Amino acid sequence: MQIRPAQISDIPAIIRVFDAARNYMCSHGNPHQWPGEYPGEIEVKRDRAHGSAFVCLDAAQEVCGYMDFEEGPDPSYHYIEGAWLDEGPYHVIHRIAALRQGTGIGSFLLDWACAHAQIIRVDTHRDNYPMQRLLKSRGFRKCGVIYLETGDARFAFELTQA
């Protein structure tokens, strides 16, 4: 597998990745994290405009994963019920998704991000147990609860590398 910046031509494949991830979440007790058409083309285009949209390619060079990996600060992370591990500059991962679950795509995306930043923050829905397990397996620690602009609560995780 490899990771590269997302291109406009990747958008249909990225939408398929989002749809697969949304279906997986719904069938595994998490129907509320990504409602309706979110995330979709609008979010990918915004991520691209920020230079933070990345795709994972499989051996056939097909898009099999996606993540928004951007420099902080993230406004949603200013207030946390709990405490961050490190107050230094950090990167944020949003909209991480895999076309196929259990194939190592999520781990590959997280490992790539870890190779490109010392401090990484991620948030996820309280019902997204697969993501919580994945984050913990890659060394992320649960730091507390943050609130999105919508008021929705999310578990907040951070990885600080020496």
Q: Are 137 and 107 in contact (CB under 8 A)?
A: yes
Percentage of the residues of the chain whose pLDDT score is greater than 90: 77
Please write the tens of the pLDDT for every residue from 104-155: 899 999 999 999 999 999 999 999 998 999 999 999 999 999 999 888 999 9
Percentage of the residues of the chain whose pLDDT score is greater than 70: 99
Query: Residue written as tokens 């870890």?
Result: 114
Residue 143, domain extent: 2-160
Please write the tens of the pLDDT for every residue from 42-96: 999 999 999 999 999 999 999 999 999 999 999 999 999 999 999 999 999 999 9
The number of folded domains in the chain is 1
Q: How many Å is the Cα radius of gyration of the chain?
A: 15
**What's the CATH number where 6 sits?**
3.40.630.30
- Report the alpha-carbon distance of residue 41 to residue 17 in Å, rounded: 12
Q: For residue 73, how far is the Cα from the chain centroid?
A: 16
Average pLDDT, the chain: 93
Instruction: State how beta strands 153-160 and 119-124 pair.
Output: antiparallel
Q: Please determine, for residue 39, whether its predicted confidence score (pLDDT) is greater than 70.
A: yes
